[in-house]
Structures are given as structure tokens and as C-alpha cells.
Structure 1
Amino acid sequence: MLRCFPAAVALLFSLFAPALAQENQRSSECLAMANSGPRAIPVSVRESAAKPDEVAITYAGHSTYYIDTPGGIRIATDYSGAYTAGRLPDVVTMNRAHDTHYTLFPDPRIPYVLHGWADNGEPAKIALRVGDVFIRNVTTDIRRYFGDGPSAEMIKDGNSIFIFEVAGLCIGHLGHLHHKLDETHFAAIGRLDIVMVPIDGTYTMSLDGISEITRRLRASVVLPMHRFMTPLEEFMRRIGQQFATEMRNERTLTISRDALPAMPTVIVLRGV
């Protein structure tokens, strides 16, 4: 019925959009924690069977990680359908820089398909609770097609950083990031405990640029992605000695908030 009254819908949106934005702020524990000061963190990441407060994060390929929540919700990031890991996800997030990061024809059995862009020229606005996870986004700009360099044409708000809040953890996926983040981006992101970072150094942004963002976010766990042939040593050298490194033989990291490492740690899962 609402399709017959676009003007009415626009009016309702203009009236309620500020309230929705405020609700997003209230619903986000990660934004609240970012304003509450530092917290104590235990000394190491434990490896054990999944427990009620643990999240399992599995590297599937390229920029796709699968996040399995304690409540049984499965999320796939930058989902194109090419990289799978077990059962079909309940939620998929997408970015449209290249077709390896999205699909316009996802499996119709996926209940929630979240685009990091909007088709109406406005920023995508996502603030969604699915089971035990709250999902929100922070938009960034992308280069059009394969353009590169400062003169490349940019699409405003064409990409999204997705943030998943579950089991007391704040998990961020930077997507196909093409530019440095400013203070408004960092404020909107809030605190991240785990961040998934593209380290190709060319198709997204330079290693120096992404390393600066990684240092600024200072998440307890950094999960590289979108690597191609980038030497891990180069990325580690740029982010500095304040980050430890762990190479894993498994594709899955099982972790809880109480098990976050005391020192920020780059964890390289098998396949990266």
C-alpha cells in the first residue's frame, strides 16, 4: 500500500529519521563503551571448545569471514556467494566496489541481505538486531570501477564498514576501503575489539594508509583479509611493534570478550 504514496513515505521518513539515528546510538554497546574509557583485558587468547559467550570467526576467502554467534546466527561478510564455509548464512553483508564483494542474486533462502550502499543516492543506514547480534554500518566513499590515485572519481557513501555487536564483542569489517578515515568516521565506529582489515596495498588503499587506520583503531585482534601477494612482514613492519603476531593453522578463531589478548595481536588464519 505504501508504494502508492511516495510523498507520504518521504514525509514519514523525514519525521522519524532523527529518532532512528538516536535509537541506533542507544542500541550500540560499542559506541557506549568507546565513551566509557579503557577496560581491563586478560592476558591471552584461549583455544577451547565453543562456549555460550564465544564467537567463532572463520576465514572463507578474499574478504569473506563467517561469524557464528553464541545464539546460532551465522553472518557472512562481503558476500558474493563464491566463498562458502558450512551452512548457509542467516545474514550477508555486501560492498559494491567489485563483484567479488557482492552479488545481486543471493540465495533466496538467506533471510537478511544487507547492502553497504543505497541506490537512491543517500547513505545506506543499517541498524538491525538479528537474534543475539546488533548490526550497524558506517559509510565510506569508493573509487568508481578500477580508477586509482587521487584523481579517480569517487562514489560518495558507496562502501560500508559493518560493525557486529555480539556477546560483549565489537567486531568491525572495513570492507573495500579506499580512503583514510576522518574523526567523524572514528566517532561513528566507536570501540572495536576485533577488526578485519584489507591489506592488499593497491586495490583498496596503500599499506601505509591501512596501517595508520589499524593503529588508530587499536583493536585487540586484527584479522587480515584481501591480501593477494602482500608480504605479511610488510604490513607488520608498518603497524609497529605495539602489535604481536600469531600465525594459525586453523581457519577458525573462537574467542570471547574475556579472552581478548592483552597486547593488540594480528591473527593470521589459515588461507589468508
Structure 2
Amino acid sequence: MKSSPFRIAASFAFLFLAGMHALPSAAQEGAETQSLEEPPSQCRAIAGLVPHATFAQIEGQSRGLFDSRPPTGETTITYVTHATYVIESPGGVTIATDYAGYSGEFFPDIVTMNKAHGSHFTNFPDPAIPNVLPGWNPDGGPARHRLVEGDVYVRNVPTDIRAFGGMEADGNSIFIFETGGLCIGHLGHLHHQLTDEDFSAIGRLDILMVPVDGGLTMSQRGMGEIADRLRSSIVLPMHRFRGPIERFLDEMPEFVVERRNDERSITVSPSTLPRQPTVIVLQGV
């Protein structure tokens, strides 16, 4: 049995690896993970309403993935380090975001990665991890992931990254995790504002993980604008260096701020989402 994310050590271990020559093994998921029939998403915006997309939430229907029964259980999200959060679904599926080789004292069922810097990926994921989802496509073009594992559905929305001489198309992915009736998004190493089409592809996000460094990614103002438009119930900052987090919080005047200096995890379900949009700053961020 896997160790719970509650046992994740509070140490910080950045794994900086150079080069892109070694890719996940064939036994693991590559740059394209899609089934013959794409699973229905509970979080997608109604594309026809772009540029003023609204979100489909039909009263009285389940926010679960696969049947009409109400979702049961709670989802736990734990801050590990840098841009890595561990998500544990109600069914026990574990996910590590922007995985650079460390997720605590266990192997997740799913890891997602982005290529902007070595602290967001590893060329050598442990073979014990069954699903490795790079946010870029080594063969060129956008990565496309549509993965169902247990009670979790993972999909991605590609974005561009800065590179020598300009922008590199599709070098980053925003990953969306649908589980337990929740829509959870991780912006990765986002370098530019999102388009209306991007917002439509992302859909509703109940919980948003957002980089707040204000330099290597986007400005705090730019990230604040994205978080404000998505109107997520919970915003979880990440990817902060030595700059004060207040610079980001100042861009979120309509959000309640909760500083949980003694907690590395939150446990949440659709019924326990805060009524007012809230930024939760966990221990170590």
C-alpha cells in the first residue's frame, strides 16, 4: 500500500537535469495518451460561447465522472516543493504535478511534467510510476493527454514557453484533474496570457495552482488576472522564490487570504468549497 501524501517529507529537493535525450519508457505514458473515445469532461466550458465562455453546471446532476451517482469522499492536496503538489483522489489515486523526481516517500500513480526548467521534469522517472505525462511532445507539435486512471480523469491544454530567440510553441501544458466532483488545474510554467480559446478549453476550475514568482513565469499581475477570470473557489500559490508573496496577494483584492503556516495539506469536496474565492497559502510555499 502506498504511503499517504500526509506523510510527504517537508524537505526540498530540486532535481536539475540537463538535456532532453532520455524520455519515459514505453511502459509509461508518452506525449499522447488518449482513448478511442474521449471521456466526457465535467469541467469544460461551452465552446460556442467564446469569447464570453460560461461554465456548464446543471442543477441536480452529478459532478462526478462516470455515472449519475453523487461523488463520494474527499480529495487531499499536499504541497511538496517548488511547483509540485500531490493530489490524492477519493479513490486513492495519487498524482504529482511538475514532477522532477521527488514527490515524497512513495511513487505516485500519475506524474505530470513541464520542460521550461529542470526543476519541473525528470528524464529518468522511476519505472514504478505507471503514468508519466510530459507537457510537451518530443516529436513536435502539442502534447495531448486524455487519461482515465481509477476515479481520475487527466487532460491538458498546451501553452508556449520562452526560449532562446523567442517563444517555443507548446512547450508547457496546463493540466486539469477531474476527480471527486472537483475540477483542479495546475498552470505549470506559464509564460503568457491565455486566449479566450484557452479559457474555453480549460473550463471551470474549482481549485487553481498558480506560479507566483513574477519573473521566470508571468508577472504577479498577469497571474492575478488569470486567477480572477477563472474565479476558482480555491487558489493555491506555488513556484515562489524569495520575493514576498504579498505582491501576488495584492493582485487578488476580492479573494479571502488564509495563511496555513502549520499545514501542508487541504482536504476538500464539492460541498466544502469556500463560498467566497480564497487564496490558501500552505506551509512551505
Tell me, in whole angstroms, the C-alpha distance in 1 between the residues paired with 2:167 and 2:127. 31
**1:105, CA displacement in angstroms?**
0.3
1:189 to 190, 196, 202: 202
Gaps spanning 5+ residues in structure 1: where? 1-17, 41-50
State the alpha-carbon separation in 2 of the partners of residues 19 and 79 from structure 1: 24
Match of 1:74 among 80, 86, 94: 94
> Which is greater in Rg?
1
Aligned to 1:55, which of 67, 70, 75? 75
In the aligned structure 2, how far is the partner of 1:31 from the partner of 1:62? 28
Deviations 1:145-164 (A, max 9, x none): xx5xxxx5111011000000
Contact kept, 8 Å, 1:134 with 1:166, in 2: the verdict is yes
Whole-angstrom CA distance in 2 between matches of 1:221 and 1:96: 26
Task: Please state whether the residue corresponding to 1:129 is helix, strand or coil.
Answer: strand
Q: Please give the alpha-carbon distance, in whole angstroms, between the structure 2 residues aligned to 1:85 and 1:254.
A: 18
Residues 87, 52 of structure 1: alpha-carbon distance in 2 compared, 3 angstrom cutoff: farther
Q: Structure 1 residue 207: deviation in Å?
A: 1.0
- Conserved? CA contact 1:57–1:65, under 8 Å: yes
Residues in 2 aligned to 1:192 and 1:131: alpha-carbon distance in whole angstroms? 20
**Structure 1 residue 84: deviation in Å?**
2.7
User: 1:120-171: CA deviations, max 9, x gaps?
Assistant: 2111010110000000000000011xx5xxxx51110110000000000000
TM-score, normalization by structure 1: 0.81
List, as ranges, runs of 4+ consecutive aligned residues in structure 1 with deviation greater than 3 Å: 32-35, 37-40
Give the letter aligned to residue 166 of structure 2: E
Q: CA–CA distance in 2 between the matches of 1:123 and 1:161?
A: 12
Other structure's SS at 1:250 match = coil
Matched, 1:88 2:88: no
User: For 1:211 and 1:239, how far apart are their aligned partners in 2?
Assistant: 6
Partner amino acid, structure 2, of 1:208:
R
Query: Deviation string for 1:164-189 (max 9, x for gaps)?
Result: 00000000000000000010100000
Partner amino acid for 1:245?
A: V
How many angstroms apart in 2 are the aligned matches of 1:194 and 1:173? Answer: 9
Say if 1:19 and 1:129 are closer, same or farther in 2 by CA, change over 3 A. closer
Q: Cα RMSD between the aligned structures?
A: 2.2
Normalising by structure 2, we get a TM-score of: 0.78
Provide the residue aligned with 1:154 in structure 2.
Answer: 167
Q: What number of residue pairs does the alignment pair up?
A: 235
- 1:34-45 equivalences in 2 (<5 Å): 35-36=55-56
In the TM superposition, what is the alpha-carbon distance from 1:65 to its structure 2 partner? 0.2
Give the Cα separation in 2 of the matches to 1:247 and 1:258: 22
Pairs within 5 Å for 1:201-240: 201-240=214-253
Note the residue ranges of structure 2 that are not aligned, 5 or more in a row: 1-33, 47-53, 61-70
Percent identical: 56
Matches of 2:124 and 2:153, distance apart in 1: 24
Aligned match of 2:148 = 129
Higher deviation after alignment, 133-142 or 30-39: 30-39
Partners of 1:255 and 1:106 lie apart in 2 by: 29
The whole-number CA distance in structure 1 between the counterparts of 2:104 and 2:266 is: 14
3-state DSSP of counterpart to 1:30: coil
SS at match of 1:202: coil
Following superposition, the deviation at residue 35 of structure 1 comes to: 3.5
> Comparing 221-230 with 26-35, which one deviates more in the overlay?
26-35
- For residues 167 and 136 of structure 1, do their structure 2 counterparts lie closer, same or farther at Cα, with a shift above 3 Å needed? same
Q: Does 1:245 align with 2:257?
A: yes
Deviations 1:47-69 (A, max 9, x none): xxxx9520010000000000011
Tell me the amino acid that sits aligned with residue 172 of structure 1. Answer: G
Corresponding residue for residue 14 of structure 1: none
Please say if residues 63 and 101 of structure 1, whose CA atoms lie closer than 8 Å, have aligned partners that are also in contact.
yes
- Partners of 1:78 and 1:39 in 2: CA distance: 34
Distance 1:182 1:38, change over 3 A: farther
